[in-house]
Structure 1
């Protein structure tokens, strides 16, 4: 039933460029698709293992820069740029995940935040590679099989196809034995160890896959913007992904997807005041955690269980 609804929703989302000619609305749609993918990737590591990774912001930035540099500096094409972004992020995640995942959760948060800040500094200060604050402008839209995705409406199909592929992959992963094992590790790691299962390979794999998907999403989003600079690593991107996961319900795949689509306009709504944007994001996060600590999906489950208990009385 859920898959049927998801298929209908996917087809409805695909029809957006056919329903409007507004580049602004279509652009918001592209943001919704890419942000939902990035949030679903964060949900894999945070929702399924309980590890809050701020490294996602660094992976997002690396993905954007690698894709842009592949095209502009090294003369490659967009598609290979996205692939290289995913692969490089997976390798980086394995390198930093091996030591950090062996620490406690508080140290993991601090270390991943440090990594994200380090990537931001590199993007700003390694001028020979990233062009620093000037960034890399005029990124060309991609082509495939002789068709050029030159307009916002045409590029929407790229974002849609990419998002469907990534979300389908993440759904299959979360629904598999690997996903169930990750949930078991989150709930009771000592018990998992007692059953002869080593948690480390599962957590490291989830971290690397999450990084790869986030990096690929960053690459696709970069070419939607047409430019990348250090502002691409603005912390509000991380806040957006985190808000989507918390409101949707950490560990709930469908809850995060629904929240990602519903909250897609949030960055646009908050553009009216860049000075207070971070404060507003923080307030939304705190309120969401207090009012619905399990997210919308968890709140709905609790309501359903409450009704069932009342009916049994």
Structure 2
């Protein structure tokens, strides 16, 4: 899809609060947008490196908890009579902290988990998310455990002449999520169109051949994991400041499944796949809510997903792109990574 179409799409979405000011509609779109950002981050791993992370909710939850705790402040004991205290910080500091903490854990997981491949990597990512959920559930002094963190301040922005303005209204939250989502999309596009992106695709297509031409496998996979985790942490931070209450359920497996569905049905390994899949499966449950009983809603949800996987196995975006006039294909990723012979 061209850049012109992309900016037209962003402009159309930005106009939604003006055309449809219904708070319920904006709430649904904002929630869907947060998970679309998470799906964009997962697509960087699943779509461009071929590594399936079923513990991606771990980075989402880390971003949520880190941002909330920095914004609220905390005072905890760390042993030997010592205490760690942090006064409440501005929300934008918490947002950056959520990205940084998620990215740091992404680096740690990447350094450890990419020593294995296939099912072993998947198991490690699932265990990682479950361990973090148990920590959040039992470290009551820091996270309040099952009682949840409450009173999380809303997101805010600094505006010239007005200072720091809290974003209480639905349109303000929607525009913030749209802005962060646009930045995440542009970042991923820049990465996948760079030398790093070509290396990632080469690893996905043939890791052995990529190694043979000198591509440092673990190095590039860790870079992808850190970027993916950081973007997921940004989504989690937005989630925390939007709902303003979080508990250990933010690490649940269902959040990862939601992101995986968005990526696969939209088209993994494509820039617009997570956006299209996220809009469909993020909005569909709410669109059916007033017209069908809960059982029928989930049946329709599952049937649509099965049909898409059966008849459009590559996803919606590749299927639509296949109907458009053929354009010149780019050079293979591995060939692009090899310097021309003198």
TM-score, scaled to structure 2: 0.82
Q: Which range moved further: 280-289 or 32-41?
A: 280-289
Residue in structure 2 matched with residue 185 of structure 1 by the alignment: 203
Instruction: After superposition, give the CA deviation of every residue in 1:119-171 in whole Å (9 maximum; x if it has no partner).
Output: 11122221111111111122221333322212122222221221111111111
For 2:275 and 2:132, locate their aligned partners in 1 and report how far apart those are by CA, in whole Å.
28
Q: Which range moved further: 228-237 or 245-254?
A: 228-237
Pair 1:132-2:145 in alignment: yes
Residue in structure 2 matched with residue 294 of structure 1 by the alignment: 314
What pairs with 1:205-220 in structure 2 (closer than 5 Å)?
205-220=223-238
Greater helix fraction, Structure 1 or Structure 2: 1
Structure 1: which 5+ residue stretches go unaligned? Answer: 307-313
Match of 2:174 among 140, 144, 156: 156
Structure 2: which 5+ residue stretches go unaligned? Answer: 74-85, 327-342
1:287 Cα deviation after fit: 4.7
For 1:149 and 1:117, locate their aligned partners in 2 and report how far apart those are by CA, in whole Å.
32
For 1:278 and 1:68, locate their aligned partners in 2 and report how far apart those are by CA, in whole Å.
32
Match of 2:116 among 103, 107, 131: 103
| Distance change (3 Å), C-alpha of 1:10 and 1:175 | same
Instruction: After superposition, give the CA deviation of every residue in 1:256-294 in whole Å (9 maximum; x if it has no partner).
Output: 222222332145358788899988876665554333221
Residue in structure 2 matched with residue 81 of structure 1 by the alignment: 94
Residue in structure 2 matched with residue 66 of structure 1 by the alignment: 66
For 2:143 and 2:296, locate their aligned partners in 1 and report how far apart those are by CA, in whole Å.
29
| Distance change (3 Å), C-alpha of 1:274 and 1:233 | farther
Residue in structure 1 matched with residue 280 of structure 2 by the alignment: 262
Check whether the contact 1:77–1:142 (CA below 8 A) recurs between aligned residues.
no
Check whether the contact 1:130–1:136 (CA below 8 A) recurs between aligned residues.
yes
Q: Which runs of 4+ in 1 moved over 4 A?
A: 269-287, 301-306
Check whether the contact 1:244–1:259 (CA below 8 A) recurs between aligned residues.
yes
For 1:3 and 1:249, locate their aligned partners in 2 and report how far apart those are by CA, in whole Å.
18
Instruction: After superposition, give the CA deviation of every residue in 1:41-73 in whole Å (9 maximum; x if it has no partner).
Output: 100000001110122111111110111111112
Match of 2:239 among 188, 201, 221: 221
Residue in structure 2 matched with residue 30 of structure 1 by the alignment: 30
Check whether the contact 2:276–2:317 (CA below 8 A) recurs between aligned residues.
no
